[in-house]
Chain A
């Protein structure tokens, strides 16, 4: 492990992450770990948070990338109702931004580029 990285630890199990807290090995992700990452982000996971995180993981499984915000918003709206279908709602759940913060908790890589 180089100096720039560190790890999450649960019951002596070590999960390496990068400088910003994104998991290095995506397959190591589990729900307990998600709760721990969320805690680091000062987020208490509620069922609403899990709705987003689960959607992100399903989408990633299919497409190997996180969804566009617009796609996420629409999916939320369709599945969970219109009150959950806008950007503001997602930012309330993930104040640092749904793309980056929710991806981190979902154990997915950080979206890079001009975003």
Chain B
């Protein structure tokens, strides 16, 4: 009882994760990502540098978006400045810069929109806060549309459902169209279009890594769990974020998927053509690039003759896949219609657990006291399973099945109110480390609460960006770098493997 009381007192002394900061106007104005050089702009169909008549071109692009996306127009027209969103952005909470209030971020674009597309803005701009697109405004766009992780937390609290993420995407799309792109996202999209993944991981390296993992799991467990590549005729195509083949704790999650597939007795394969689940085309609001990236998945599925597509742990990849894959790259009439198209690895694992087909030795995770970070694009941009809220319940059910100690963080920081890791939406780049660290503050404070109250030692996540971002920022808040784990890492630790006969897996693709 005393221990509980003590923990409660410690917890009471901790700062509120969502504490509203004092305003520090302009304090983050200088935070901006590196610009994309012509070599990264041109392959994506964007001008290499700022075009001569950029103001005119930007307004033309805005008019195009206004005609094409009804949401864009509604979001820009309907804000009544009620203020409900002002304290909902993690970047505002972490910095105090008022331009990181969602309404202010939207207004950077809205003021120009009003100037050109509303009657009052055309004739009485000073009355309605309308402004011309000056160099100063463009600079603000570049800074502050790259301080939005497109997490959509603000949209949950907006009575009109205005989605700042879409405004940020539009802002970036307009900037790309006039030659003012961001290096991080655009270089990465280029790599997907040429090599097949964000990392630039060629087939030879991928193959070597997968063989290495087969060896490792065999050594550790004595069970020949396979990591197949380009195997024609496999039932399932796994599309994982390329970080799953490279970084920690991502790889530990990949090992978990492989063990689950092994235990399920299904045949599966990774494709060296579609080695990337992530779709950075979404971050920059580019339909064309999103489509190009999505089509790689379709081509891989057709080429390998699979019957199902399963996505790995990747936040916005799942939003892009769940919400847009069928539109961008469908119809998937050649796949087995009895399964969701596409399916998420957590759905796959959860279904097996629900059917009693997986056995776990939870004590294998007894060194871990766990909490779960809801990744924003899964929490607010998609769903898992066939019930509302499945995206919250399914990962938690998996984690509870695999460990004995699970505790949720404060209710106003999880599920649909989850606070972003601070690195999403194309911000996971070193030159933005200051905004990343500050934006992580609400999540880190929420973690401190469960660490104090329940002795939580680890946090699981199911998004490649979240995992990489937390590996970087956890030590800045006094936690261990390795306190972040993959959901399927917990599965991997606890799953009881049987020596099953995998049967014929299909011919190897010669290349």
Binding site for B on A (CB under 8 A): 2, 4, 19-20, 62-65, 67-71, 74, 87, 91, 97, 99-100, 109, 111-115
Contacts and interface: CB of A to CB of B under 8 A. Distances in A.
Interface string B194-217: 000111111011001100110010
Interface in B139-188: 183-184, 187-188
Interface of B: 34-35, 37, 183-184, 187-188, 191, 197-202, 204-205, 208-209, 212-213, 216, 241-243, 245-248, 250-251, 278, 314, 428, 430-431, 464-465, 467-468, 472, 481-482
Contact of A113 (B198, B205, B208, B213): B198
A47 to B, nearest CB: 25
Contact of B200 (A87, A97, A112): A112
Contacts of A97: 472
B170 to A, nearest CB: 23
A68 B216 CA distance: 14
Contact of A91 (B204, B242, B481): B481
Contacts, number: 92
A67 to B, nearest CB: 8
Contact of B34 (A4, A63, A99, A112): A4
A113 B430 contact: no
18 contacts: A4-B37, A19-B431, A63-B202, A63-B204, A64-B202, A67-B205, A68-B251, A69-B247, A70-B213, A71-B208, A74-B212, A99-B246, A99-B247, A113-B246, A113-B278, A113-B464, A114-B314, A115-B468
User: Top 5 nearest A-B pairs by Cβ distance?
Assistant: A113-B198, A114-B464, A63-B205, A114-B243, A115-B247
B431 A112 contact: no
* Chain B interface main SS type: helix
Contacts of A112: 184, 187-188, 191, 198-200
Given A65-B205, A69-B248, A74-B212, A115 B243 contact: yes
Contact of A71 (B184, B197, B212): B212
Given A70-B251, A113-B188, A63 B37 contact: no
Contact of B242 (A62, A64, A69, A113): A113
B198 A114 contact: yes
Given A20-B431, A113-B464, A115-B199, 19 more contacts: A4-B35, A63-B205, A64-B205, A65-B199, A65-B205, A67-B205, A70-B213, A70-B216, A87-B248, A87-B481, A91-B481, A109-B200, A112-B198, A112-B199, A113-B191, A114-B247, A114-B278, A114-B465, A114-B468
